[in-house]
Amino acid sequence: MRRGGIDRRAFLGVGGAAIICTIGGRTIRVETPEDVAEVDAAVRRLKAPRAVAAARAEGLDAVDELKFGTPEPQPGGQVREYWIEARSLIWDVAPTGRDEFMGHAIPKPRTFRAFAYRQWSPGFAAPLGPPSIPGPTLEAEVGDVLRVHFRNGDEHFGQAVTMHPHGVRYTPDYDGAYMGDYTRVGGFIAPGEEFTYTWEATPDSVGVWAYHDHGPNEDLNTHRGLFGMIVVREKGAPRPDVEAGLWFHQFAPAITKLRRNFQCVNGRVAAGNTPTIRAKVGQHVTFHVFGADDMLHTFHIHGHRWRAPDGTFTDNQLLGPMTSVTASWVEDNPGRWLYHCHVLSHMHAGMNGWYLVDP
Ligand SMILES: [Cu+2]
């Protein structure tokens, strides 16, 4: 049966895996845009969970009664404040209309409603740009705290969202995770509400990490674009000359209501739309590459090699859901290079981009 332009067979046939959503005690197998609408409606009907302290007594464990403070920076550290809003927007996966890798046009339709984080100036005075996929990069050094003022500024989807960090230290209040009746304050930020998360950059936070929505509809809303990067460095450590954050993920037909399954880097398909990274010979270059969907990907870049965590050299490294690969080198090979996921069906459906090195 053909409904809303995409039937079940077409959806699965273009490589979209079914997403299983559990919401309001029901499990919904998401295969069509109609299934997505059903999940969204169920999430919109959710009431804010009662604070644990006020929740029913039975089923509560002592850990649920714990009270937590708000951490301050270590001596010599600082507070790094961000103002971040989540809102939906109409998103074009290929603004140039061209696939420069294969040399052809990318036909319309290419736009749909996505969900993205957006950075504002202090006090939410003014937006610092449009919502972006990935969201703004959050940076800290060991000993700092990240204080992230978060606002759910979206009316279209009408559902609670959050920011859940990886890698930094946080108490359950700042976990940003919806957990039914056990949800703490940061785990259900309804439309129009604000919440301030405080996360610590500890010595074991050094590295790059994901943050993403972990509200009651995490599954769909992360697939819609609610993810971004946290970078924690040693105190005083320099930034590389070139530092790129790339996210490999798909915009599946169930999410976009479009027929094609778009295999994306940072929300765009195909070289020319995906990020073009530029460097010069002699520069210290670092790529951080994340998987942001349920698929297995690899990060491959032509003309370059780097050390994998096991100490061997590689030019093609595996990454999975919300894991990352960091590839670093001192640039010595000028020219136009391709980077891409080496799952060939991903690469040829758009998961590729340019790396341009000047002499
Ligand atoms: Cu891939």
Same domain? 264 vs 231: no
Domain containing 84: what range? 59-235
Question: Rounded to an integer, what distance in angstroms lies between the CA atom of residue 337 and that of residue 357?
Answer: 8
Give the Å distance between the CA of 272 and the centre of ligand 1: 18
Give the Å distance between the CA of 249 and the centre of ligand 1: 7
Q: Is the per-residue pLDDT at 52 higher than 70?
A: no
Give the Å distance between the CA of 341 and the centre of ligand 1: 5
Give the Å distance between the CA of 331 and the centre of ligand 1: 25
Q: For the chain, give the mean pLDDT.
A: 92
Give the Å distance between the CA of 343 and the centre of ligand 1: 5
- Summarised one tens digit per residue, pLDDT across range 274-286 is 999 999 999 999 9
Tokens 């976009």 map to which residue? Answer: 256
Give the Å distance between the CA of 333 and the centre of ligand 1: 25
Mean predicted confidence (pLDDT) in 141-159: 97
pLDDT above 70 covers a percentage of the chain that reads 92
| Dihedrals phi, psi of 186, to nearest 5 degrees | -85, 5
Same domain? 216 vs 328: no
Same domain? 75 vs 105: yes
Same domain? 242 vs 220: no
Check residue 10 and give its pLDDT.
44
pLDDT greater at residue 178 or residue 18: 178
Whether 50 maps to a domain, the answer reads: no
Q: Please state whether beta strands 297-301 and 306-307 pair in parallel, antiparallel, or not at all (unpaired).
A: unpaired
286 - beta bridge partners? 243, 328
Give the Å distance between the CA of 27 and the centre of ligand 1: 27
Whether 53 maps to a domain, the answer reads: no
Surface-to-core class of residue 60, CB atoms within 10 Å of its CB (0-12 exposed, 13-18 middle, 19+ buried): middle
The pTM assigned to this predicted structure is: 0.93
Give the Å distance between the CA of 322 and the centre of ligand 1: 13
Same domain? 168 vs 255: no
The CATH code of the domain that includes 297 is 2.60.40.420
- Summarised one tens digit per residue, pLDDT across range 75-112 is 999 999 999 999 999 999 999 999 999 999 999 999 99
Give the Å distance between the CA of 356 and the centre of ligand 1: 22
Whether 51 maps to a domain, the answer reads: no
Same domain? 26 vs 149: no
